[in-house]
Amino acid sequence: MSRETLQSTKFLKQLKQVILRHLIQLIGRLAEEEPEKFNELQKNFGSVLKLGAVEDKKNSNKLALLARFATNQRNSTSFNQVRYSFVQ
């Protein structure tokens, strides 16, 4: 049995979706509860979150909210922070 055959099974696709959903929830909780650890994660994997927001159509909104972008005024900001600053 080839590796490609194993990777294309329905079970593995479902497992990938479950793991990805839990990982996104964990990163979101980390962003809210422990910003210092999230900033370290952002330094190492920020580009992966941004790439995932573009490529993963199913989870793009969730990943885009977790992505942080460099600004002139702050070290990093999210889409929610930018939207909130325009409202006020």
Tens digits of residue pLDDT in 42-57: 889 989 988 998 998 9
pTM of the model: 0.72
Our count of domains for the chain comes to 1
Residue 69 is given by DSSP the state B
Under a CB-based contact definition with an 8 Å cutoff, are residues 27 and 61 in contact? no
| Res. 2: pLDDT tops 80 | no
The residue range of the domain holding 54 is: 3-87
| Cα 30 to Cα 6, 21, 34, 60, 67, distances in angstroms | 33, 14, 5, 18, 13
Alpha-carbon span 86 to 88, nearest angstrom: 6
